[in-house]
Amino acid sequence: MAHQSVLHFSTTGRGTRDITDAVAAAVRESGVTCGVAHVFVQHTSCSLTITENADPDVRRDLETVVARLAPDGDPAYRHDTEGPDDMAAHARTMLTDTALTVPVGGGRLLLGTWQGIYLWEHRTAPHRRSVVVTVLG
């Protein structure tokens, strides 16, 4: 059995947005009780991550880490068509991930107690993002 949903999110610019509840709703809607949920973001300048959902300092610190690895406006970048954050956003996406797979059991996501699914916007300006959730079981 397969079920697919496309979820749409507006971001406020760089940072994380918790999408766990929306993905969980897509899993419930699928009717799958045992299987996997594959979550994929259809963009090249944002990503998905599973990380701690209790302390927001974790997500702020992760932002600090990727900012060190892929700083905005590095003079070595050639791709800057959409501004100083353009290439940095692409690099941050490559360093993180555009897809996640989460087990489904009992009709729900089998995330750990302190885990949440986050859409991670790497651009500084707000964007509209699409996330495909495919549930197989």
Domain range holding 90? Answer: 2-136
Give the pLDDT confidence of 92-117 residue by residue, as tens digits.
999 999 999 999 999 999 999 999 99
Tally of CB atoms within 10 A around 6: 12
Which CATH number do you get for residue 111?
2.60.120.460
- Domain total in the chain: 1
| Cα angle 80-84-85, degrees, rounded to a multiple of 5 | 100
Which tens digit of pLDDT belongs to each residue from 36-66?
999 999 999 999 999 999 999 999 999 999 9
